[in-house]
Structure 1
Amino acid sequence: MDTIPLIPATSNLVKRNLASSESSESKKAESSSAARLLVLQNMVPLATNLVSSQLEAFSTRLADQLFKLSDQAVRPEEAKVSYDAHQLLKRNSTAFYRLVAGQINAALSKEVSVFNTRRRLKKDEQYLDKTAQTYEEMEGKILLRNASHALEVLNAESLVMLNTLIGRILNRMPIDVTQNPFRPEIFVKAVHQAWMELDDNPASHLVVLRLLQPTVFLQLSPILDEINQELMARGIRPDSDDGFDTSAGGVAYLPVQKFFSLDPYLQDKLKRVFSGQIELAHTDPNYDFSGLAAVSDTLTNQLDLDADEDRADKASIDQQFFEDLREMQKRFAQEEHANAPFESRLHKVLHASSAQKLSVVERNTIELLARIFDYIFADQSLGKDIKSMMAQLQIPIVRVALSDRDFFFRESHPARTLLDILGSSGIVLDHDASALDPLLGVIGDVVERVQTEFDAQIDLFSDVVSDLELYLKEEDCKAQAAISQPVQTALTEEKMRVSRELAEHDVAIRVETGEVAGFLEVFLEEQWIRILTIAHSVKDEKPHALENALKTMDDLIWSLKPKNSPDERKALIAKLPAMLTLLNAWLNAIRWDEPDRVLFFSKLAERHAAMARAPLELSPRRQLEIAVNIAQRASNRRLDRFVNEKAVQANDEATKQVADLERGMWLDFSDELEQITRFKLAWISPKRSSFIFANRQGDQAFSIAAADLEDKYRAGTASTILANSLVDRALTYALRDLAI
């Protein structure tokens, strides 16, 4: 049936239809931010305890430096201040310990509680702001900056790891050191504050601050490393899929993201757009998308414009223009209610009277976003419901991009991540029944929250992305639980398949020597392989079973080789009873009771009897004939094996496509009636010999062998959906007609 564009009212209808289930999911979503915050709050007492263990050594180093300074100072007043501070610290070391520990605990607790909503300051504003009125205050800020920077350099490796882990927790990859609540600046400020409480003499405050250098200060590396270890022990990993890992493609439900090398050509285009060197031409709302299918997917997730310290995201926009944007947002929402055709409304934004005051860079920002949304609305892989959701985000995204141009340069930007997730969701939603899909209700709530709550805090996008990804991850966990039985079955089948391959190898290396009699060769390849397969499958539990089966096979092969001496014949007669007993026991285990078993043992008995009656010494001619026959059979066997291996190794495009598959990818399968069904690759066996595909909920699943899947690729009845970043594709297309 036709899809129904989902506007906020429709979203409420879906929620009413699914009230019980969505109520539970909503509560989980509401608590997700608090849960993430709690993880970091638990690191505060750990850091405080680690600091406390260093306070005695730190106090000693600081006191020594104060005494050394008092002895070396040129100015008498500085020498006196340093000596008095030295004496004060010696007399009140315990009080200093208490003050430092208390200040650090309070500072870290405050940072953790507020940094999730704090806007990032300009690079140096945190040190040099307009509140500094005196020379001493300004010098104090410079000393703080220098001490913090020196510690950052010394502990760079640990800080980078912690930045990554915190980014995993908060879905805000990558964060920088200014956003890290455990950054060196916090420790330096806390220690300095503790000293100011200990000594009320202002003259000593700058003296002590100058001494807070890496050689004197607390050793932050073991503290940061311990926090990193604790976070990783809780399942948070810098480069894997864990409970908090929501980097691109991290949610297994979503199509896996493909990353490409940076395209310098596109990088130069963006640099020109945001340097103000050129002004993008205003496009017609009926943007030409005839070449949509041929869009390149080469724009990627990073553009390094660090050389430009004052990025365009620091632009100051006229407040009247933002007020006009709010009014436009309301009007555009009414147009969505009227089921207007999907087209970017952002072309109209530049016609507002207040837009005339915008700079070239700001106008370029809006025009580029208009082109991006034009592309999105023309994308045939997205249904009407998802397009309706994304249409309601146009004005909020404009406001984000005007205040933070990282939207264009950083793939992990939260607002950009939201658009990419919506684009990925649009690909995997069933367009014929999407209006009843709970996921669409959750997306509707997210969009509605952005519309109603977004003002200037970009971190709101981080929160809604976290809540949406939490829902998707929970949905994926349910789907994985639903396919647990097929997975166990597939694991058992693969174990037997691998055991069979090992058994075939065990037989092949013996047969290809050319020393195995013809009837015995058939027996080993048809019956003994079955026995070895069982032995290999239970090798971990019963290792002696495999040893026993291999030894019995080797003894059987040896028993049929020519015996040229009396001692060899005596050994054969001695071994036969035990060997035949084991042979029969193994054949009983596989229940080989066919008449062929009787025939096999008859031939075996004849050969053994013939050996017993053979002349004691074989003539040289006969020995040569036997050797030539063995060599010929061995040569033929090796040639057959070489040809078979070459056939197996023959790779084609289908083989490569199957080899490139990863869990989380989505594939289209077509049947005899050419009806296409979309399934997610939910599981890959350890040996990649079988794959399990399922729908999003996991209630429809099937297993397929790698060879059969390759055949489907060759026949064109299976194809991979390459879901690259929607914004990347749209941005690439939007810049297509811009010449460098």
Structure 2
Amino acid sequence: MDTVPLNTAKVSEFSSSSRLLMLQSLVPVATNLVSSQLEAFTSRLTDALFKISDQTLQPEEAANSFQACQLLKRNQTTFYRLLASQISTMLMKEVGAINTRKRLKDNHDIKDISLVTFEEMENKVLTNNLTKSLEVNSAEKLVELNCRIGLVMKRTPITVSQNPFRPEIFVNAVLQAWMELESTTVTPHLIIRIMQPDLFLNLSSVYQGLNDALAERGIVVDTDAVKRENKKRHAPLKSEDLDSRDPYLQNKLRNIFYPQASKERNQSGGVGAVAQDGAGQSGPLQSWLPAGAGGAVDTVTIDRQFFDYLTGMQKQIQQNQLVQPEDRSHLRRLTQEASAGELTHIDQNTIELLARIFDYVFSDDSIPEEIKSLIGQLQIPTLKVALLDKDFFFKENHPARVLIDTLAKSSVLLGNDATSEDPLYQMIEGIVDRVQQDFDQQIELFSDVVADLEAFLKSEEAQTEQAISEPVEQALKQEKMRLAREFAENDVAIRTDTGEVAGFVEEFLRKQWIRILTIAHNVKEEKPNALENALRTMDDLIWSLKPKNTSEERKELVSKLPAMLTLLNAWLNAIKWDEPDRVLFFSKLAERHAAIARAPLELSPRRQLEIAVNIAQRASEKRLNRHFVDQNEQEVDEWGKMVEGLERGVWFDFTTTAGVTNRFKLAWVSPKRTRYIFTNRQGHDSFSISREELLAQLRNGDATIVSAESIVDRALVEALRDPPN
């Protein structure tokens, strides 16, 4: 997506009062966006309550949920009004308190927990869980809104808790509105319990609307830069994913390192072996463990002789320039080397755990063998890091851990046809050589080489952006035309669903006039009168075929017909509809107009009733058919959800009918997510496919997503399934 640089000068011109007024002007925007969803939201909530009343085995719960369901059915309009009022009031209060957030929060927290009931505590937990889920579902738009509001308030960046439009406010507004509607203390807990993100309001669309409103007011941010800068903010989500695989991961790591560390300190008094260093100084090397329960950082010592032995091995591997597959597990052999005889239990566990991590890396089929060999040369430097700093195991953003992850992810770009002539391969090879040659105890070296690799990848990505500029332009045109077609179909459906349009005219509108409306919608920005003219002509055509029961109506029909027919023919000439069906259509049209003119002015009550019943029946059938179609279109399977969540930079393997697999990157997603452009790493061989085509290939297995998960994270979870003793 093209980005616009931040207009900092313009933001700085806002006074304190004008900044507050700007945020206050967003409250009606948010309220209106929510109001448009209230009918569907209430329907989902009603269905959920009825489902509980029908399926629960607890009589009291069944009665409460059924009563709540009936109450909501009878008072939908009241609930709409209460909820819209609550949202507006709460948002305005939050906006007004944005400068006093800390004071308000402090006062709010001064509550005697001994006075809180178990149900209140449970409600708070459930509300917090829902709020967090909504934050995750709306993360991208919410982060962008955080940045825009931060710019307005000169506080860039603000956190979610400082955002006056955060999900928590909407959740509390719903609960407060419900409590005003129904005064008992039982059902609010029921409402909180059944509320899930898919049942709740669509806050992503609300945040998109607020971002658009701020953009119109001149608060512009580089959204791509926002995504990059806020990756660290989403790190906890990644930890939660790890915890879902192994919720005891941190405990397992602490059990490996902390008890043994305490034992070693008790036995040796905290003193390690002493060796002469290269500078003529003697003393042990210190290894750092993360803070324990008491908040203090634990330290253990490393045998200097063993550390020097590793440094010598590191240089030897660098000179050989290659680690053969059979040598990839040589870390474990270190525990049996003569020079490693004095290893502590912690050191032995460190070596074993790191060996398991590298075993996992070497077994990953998505990493080319050539890159595995290069990563294998980092075993000794990584072991030295892990001995010096146990944060390697505890922290996902540890520099050495990030390097291995980045190298593994970069190998995805190479695919299985990696060659030594590839610039990326040469870059990776140079990084490995630099670590082998320069690393001793300077862990920041890993951060430096990661920065170099990321800069290289960024330069390649910039070349890709330039290479796909023309396909992007073409895809935008295709999406614009597709949206114009959808608008045109909706324009026709609104008119034909009434049941009053004659069958041959409905067929004409759906086959021919939709083409005209599509063109009109597509050019409405340049020629707004064209759409107005096309819609008016369609409405005049429909009106001309309705019964004319007074002489004045028939006179009006006679006066309008020439101009209407002229416009019809002009538009049909524009789409070059010269088929025999055109002659037949105008022949039927003339016959129907003549019949209308000859019909009796006064219709019998029976005839009027027949006409009304036929119209109502046709309208009902069309509404049912449309509802059925809409329901089918709204059903999204797992593949649909996957495609909806795709972001630029994801890699796919596409398999041709001949069985050949090629790797391409998702380089661009259209604004409405209807078209996707894929390209290879250099930006060549790009192709554009629709959402439907991509879904079909995913379902058939002709397209598969290449995993971008941290390989060290996955390896660590796997390595700790059976922790070292």
TM bucket normalised to smaller? 0.5 to 0.7
The one of 252, 266, 270 equivalent to 2:249 is: 266
Residue in structure 1 matched with residue 56 of structure 2 by the alignment: none
Percentage identity across paired residues of the two chains: 55
Letter in 1 for 2:252: K
Residue in structure 1 matched with residue 303 of structure 2 by the alignment: 318
The answer as to whether partners of 1:654 and 1:713 remain within 8 angstroms in 2 is yes
Q: Secondary structure at the match of 1:240?
A: helix
Describe how 1:496-535 pairs up with structure 2 within 5 A: 496-535=481-520
Letter in 2 for 1:539: K
Residue 629 in structure 1 maps to residue 581 in structure 2: no
* CA deviation after TM superposition for structure 1 residue 316, in Å: 3.6
The one of 543, 557, 561 equivalent to 1:558 is: 543
Residue in structure 2 matched with residue 363 of structure 1 by the alignment: 348
Cα offsets for 1:583-642 (capped at 9, x unmatched):
222222212222222222222222222222222212222212211221222122122212
Query: Structure 1 residues 236, 636: closer, same or farther in 2, change over 3 A?
Result: closer
Letter in 2 for 1:483: I
The one of 598, 602, 605 equivalent to 2:590 is: 605
Letter in 1 for 2:454: E
Describe how 1:141-160 pairs up with structure 2 within 5 A: none
Q: TM-score, normalised by structure 1?
A: 0.61
Residue in structure 2 matched with residue 495 of structure 1 by the alignment: 480
Residue in structure 2 matched with residue 427 of structure 1 by the alignment: 412
* CA deviation after TM superposition for structure 1 residue 247, in Å: 5.8
* CA deviation after TM superposition for structure 1 residue 330, in Å: 2.2
Residue in structure 2 matched with residue 276 of structure 1 by the alignment: 259
Distance in 1 of aligned mates of 2:239 and 2:292: 25
Residue 587 in structure 1 maps to residue 572 in structure 2: yes
The one of 228, 241, 252 equivalent to 1:241 is: 228
Describe how 1:336-415 pairs up with structure 2 within 5 A: 337=322, 339=324, 341-415=326-400
Letter in 2 for 1:607: R
* CA deviation after TM superposition for structure 1 residue 424, in Å: 1.1
The answer as to whether partners of 1:490 and 1:703 remain within 8 angstroms in 2 is yes
* CA deviation after TM superposition for structure 1 residue 269, in Å: 0.6
Residue in structure 2 matched with residue 331 of structure 1 by the alignment: 316
Q: TM-score, normalised by structure 2?
A: 0.62
Letter in 1 for 2:517: L
Higher RCO (CA-CA < 8 Å; seq separation 6+): 1
* CA deviation after TM superposition for structure 1 residue 438, in Å: 1.0
Q: Secondary structure at the match of 2:481?
A: helix
Distance in 2 of aligned mates of 1:540 and 1:266: 56
The answer as to whether partners of 2:290 and 2:391 remain within 8 angstroms in 1 is no
Residue in structure 1 matched with residue 206 of structure 2 by the alignment: none
The answer as to whether partners of 1:415 and 1:461 remain within 8 angstroms in 2 is yes
Q: Secondary structure at the match of 1:435?
A: coil
Farther-moved stretch of structure 1 (626-635 vs 469-478):
626-635
Letter in 2 for 1:273: I
Letter in 1 for 2:474: T
The answer as to whether partners of 2:322 and 2:377 remain within 8 angstroms in 1 is no
The answer as to whether partners of 2:370 and 2:418 remain within 8 angstroms in 1 is no
Letter in 2 for 1:318: D
Larger radius of gyration: 1
The answer as to whether partners of 1:342 and 1:377 remain within 8 angstroms in 2 is no
* CA deviation after TM superposition for structure 1 residue 159, in Å: 14
Please report the RMSD computed on the Cα atoms of aligned residues, expressed in angstroms.
3.3
Distance in 1 of aligned mates of 2:524 and 2:238: 40
Distance in 1 of aligned mates of 2:234 and 2:658: 32
Query: Structure 1 residues 529, 257: closer, same or farther in 2, change over 3 A?
Result: farther
Residue in structure 2 matched with residue 690 of structure 1 by the alignment: 675
Residue in structure 1 matched with residue 212 of structure 2 by the alignment: none
Distance in 1 of aligned mates of 2:221 and 2:658: 49
Distance in 2 of aligned mates of 1:625 and 1:475: 71
Q: Secondary structure at the match of 2:714?
A: helix
Letter in 2 for 1:274: F
Cα offsets for 1:349-401 (capped at 9, x unmatched):
33345534443323322221122112222223222211121111112112222
Residue 567 in structure 1 maps to residue 552 in structure 2: yes
Residue in structure 2 matched with residue 452 of structure 1 by the alignment: 437
Letter in 2 for 1:623: Q
Farther-moved stretch of structure 1 (656-665 vs 490-499):
656-665
How many residues are treated as equivalent by the alignment?
Answer: 487
Q: Secondary structure at the match of 1:657?
A: helix
Q: Secondary structure at the match of 1:467?
A: helix
Distance in 1 of aligned mates of 2:717 and 2:577: 66
Letter in 2 for 1:694: T
Cα offsets for 1:263-292 (capped at 9, x unmatched):
431221111112134999xxxxxxxxxxxx
* CA deviation after TM superposition for structure 1 residue 464, in Å: 0.8
The answer as to whether partners of 1:279 and 1:360 remain within 8 angstroms in 2 is no
The answer as to whether partners of 2:674 and 2:690 remain within 8 angstroms in 1 is yes
Distance in 2 of aligned mates of 1:235 and 1:454: 37
Query: Structure 1 residues 387, 618: closer, same or farther in 2, change over 3 A?
Result: same
